Amino acid sequence: MWVLRLRLEAKNQFLGSLAVKHKVSMTGYPLSYYKDKNWLYLITAGFLFGDELNKKALLKEVRKEKELVNMEVNGDFVISITKQPLFTEPVYNPRIIRPNPVIIHKGGYHIWELASFDKVLLVKILDFAENKLGGKIISFKQEKVFNISFTKIIPELTKKQKLALEIAINKGYYNYPKGVKMEDLARTMKISYSTFQAHLKKAEGKIMPSIYKEI
């Protein structure tokens, strides 16, 4: 199978520009789309990552955007319908496989990963991304897809468990060697060491068995 990985400039997309403005990262998985007159309507599900106040500010501004048709928010999980120009349709071709969700990073870029048995379909997306979205190739090659990511694989965490895990990942706690001590992570979250440890261990206890079952 052919697999295309792209990096795109966030400033060319409304969610990307808002992610930078509010310092919030997002993931999104296109579920389906439909066409009506001169627009393509995209249904997407994904998650928000960042400070709670920043996420609230971003969602408030998203609701004012003309591209938004409808949106439902449950904690950090978001399902939305947005409208896009018809020329974006090749990106959502049902013959395209998405091994991983789109990443919209607060650092100012998007990451797309797309796969297909038909190389020509990916070449069309590459041309569109380069010409319209400031896209650049990360990789484009034949390889075997070993898994497909779906949001429900990850079990539900409380807000504090999710925040503790997010801080630990961002600060390099799971790097080898570790990039930070747990005491420092607790200070970042502004809670005691024992409380932070409890949140993190509970998060790990939910996620690790869930992921192991999928291996």
pLDDT in tens, 117-154: 999 999 999 998 998 888 999 999 999 988 777 655 55
What pLDDT band is residue 156 in, cutting at 50, 70 and 90?
confident
pLDDT in tens, 67-89: 999 999 988 889 999 999 988 88
More reliable by pLDDT, 183 or 13: 183
What pLDDT band is residue 215 in, cutting at 50, 70 and 90?
very low
Q: How far apart are CA 166 and CA 158, in angstroms?
A: 12
The pair of structure tokens assigned to 66 is 């003309």
Average pLDDT over the chain reads 88
The CATH number of the structural domain formed by 154-214 is 1.10.10
* CB of 110 closer than 8 Å to CB of 8: yes
What pLDDT band is residue 214 in, cutting at 50, 70 and 90?
very low
Per the rule left: phi > 0, alpha: psi between -120 and 50, beta: everything else, 50 is left
What value does the mean pLDDT take over residues 94-98?
92
More reliable by pLDDT, 147 or 201: 201
More reliable by pLDDT, 115 or 146: 115
What value does the mean pLDDT take over residues 89-111?
90
Q: How far apart are CA 19 and CA 105, in angstroms?
A: 7
What are the residue boundaries of the structural domains of the chain, listed by start?
Answer: 2-142, 154-214
Q: How far apart are CA 81 and CA 64, in angstroms?
A: 14
CA angle 150, 77, 15 (to 5 degrees): 95
Residue 35 has pLDDT above 50, yes or no: yes
